[in-house]
Structure 1
Amino acid sequence: MPSQARRSFPSATQAQLIRANQRDLMGVAQLRDMSDSVLRPSLGTRWLLRWEKEVDLVSRLVYYGLTTGLASQTLGEEYVDIWQRLTRSRRPPSAASRWALIALYTLPHYAASHLAARTQDQHPYEHATDARSRIRTALLALARRLPTALDVLSELNLALFYFSGIYYTLAKRILGIRHITSMPQDPHSRPPSYALLGALLAVRLAHRLITALRASSKAQSTGLSARAQEKQRETDADVLLLDGRRVTDLLDIVEAQEHDAEDDAYTMLDLRAVPDTTRSARRCVLCLEERTASCATECGHLFCWTCIVGWGREKAECPLCRQSLDLTRLQPIANL
């Protein structure tokens, strides 16, 4: 009697993979919102602003650790009825592969953004002759470009997905993890094509490449070093702080430490002698605490320095009146 052929499940469709990813993003966002609601009453809004990236990282680790890490479906995979399988063996991923997938989901962008931020104020010596300075210059340039490089690689992978229909994320392409489904394919219906989206992404990547090449060529033709360009930007901004300190200097000082309003070194007021009714009016609308290192926007509203800088990096508008916000034009206020 001939042996019966082993049944194989079809590969997941592009539509299923897209819907699963969208549902997973919603799940992470909901977990992040719940984390904020738990942490804000006990630790305060200012703490959340400072550790925003870390809270987001932990939320992603918890979400994928409790699903993919435990060999279970994520909410998105369960929603569209798909399972992970290794491309070569067609077997479920091992524990090492699953945790490697979680690490690639969460750690690279977090580490790259922090590394770029730490090296932002360090200026390479382009004309140094010794080998150590040249290596340091190359490492600084690489660290600053890491977030952009990761974004470009993710977009390139997404463009390939729209053309080929497999490996929605770069992490799964690296590890060779695909998806199968138990839903039978309808031979009488044609699945939707996402090739147009892939073509649009390819055009966008080409535009980014051309723009980067033109910027690099322009920088070389002018002969300005990275240090000279940074000095020129600081001169153009021409924003000084208390005691002649620049905005960037105050940013580094204030972000490096947290303190109470009464210990604020950037105010001329003796807050211990100020009535409580007056001090209650000094509350920052972003952190809901008494202002420290007070500063004013161009529209005249007052905030904590760290609060408005953190807000402005994400959204370039005043949180109260929605007027355009330029962080280089913040004015330190020492007597309000």
Structure 2
Amino acid sequence: MSAPVIAIDAMGGDFGPRSIVQASIACLLATPSLHLTLVGQASLLEELIARHSGVDRSRLLVVNATEIITMDDRPSLALRGKPDSSMRVALRLLADGKAQACVSAGNTGALMALSRFVLKTLPGIDRPAMVAAIPTQRGYCQLLDLGANVDCSAENLYQFAVMGSVAAEALGVARPKVALLNVGTEDIKGNQQVKLAASLLQAAPGLNYVGFVEGDGLYRGEADVVVCDGFVGNILLKSSEGLATMIGERIETLFRRNVLSRAVGALAMPLLKRLKADLAPARHNGASFLGLQGIVVKSHGSAGAQGFQSAIQRALIEIQENLPERLHGRLEELL
């Protein structure tokens, strides 16, 4: 396999190019075979790179783009009004074969619209879906969709399940258990779309469908892949991130309350730091757009350098596993 190249939309996210350049250089140091192409305002990016010593510029290129898609821009404006945006240029590098993946922390709606327009979807896929890893008691669960598709048909949910199963296999899960997120585990529970999707999945050959799972069952690790529409998935994801942050802060506050609690906290702090690191949203940052003819990873807009580095690492894994080709082959079997 040739050296992997990832195109980076360097102008997106809450922290902007400074954080993205820092994350990119850290990834290059961690992975000697990796090549990155930063897309954005070239003069600014070159200035930020120059602040870091020992950067291997043979593996770090800069491509100029004169426009930026803001978080407030409508997808229609991104498609028609900003042809030289950093996001679009990065995706074009992927479409033209000059990169094997694209990572962006920019406007999610714009990234999805541009990805579908520039890259197109795989045969048999109506809509791409966003998927990310969620920590559970048994490891991780691949949850999709996370917000790309607010309203979904039963057929959409079926396609998401197939794609999620292949993604989990690529990440090392043998015969992943696939479930539909629902308000109960009984067959009579759920809306019409979920019930119809269950019927389709029960008849799918080679798919390890295990039925419905509730929210608490997701965190118990009852399934390796959990499928829902983007409205539910986005709320669940952000609620999980908020809960993890709140619990960590509450524990720290308790251990600072008095002398005795500080003493106990000093003993427990190594374990608590490890737990906090395991559950930190930054460590699991990076949602993949499954169903495209190319690898696109969306970093959380509020992610700092560590979080953006995780998104780049997810893209690298998908390149190494040749995920689009694996998806294409599996979809031919199941759709």
Shared topology, TM-score over 0.5?
no
Q: TM-score range by the shorter chain?
A: under 0.3
**Whose helix proportion is higher, 1 or 2?**
1
Q: TM-score, normalised by structure 2?
A: 0.26
**Larger C-alpha radius of gyration, 1 or 2?**
1
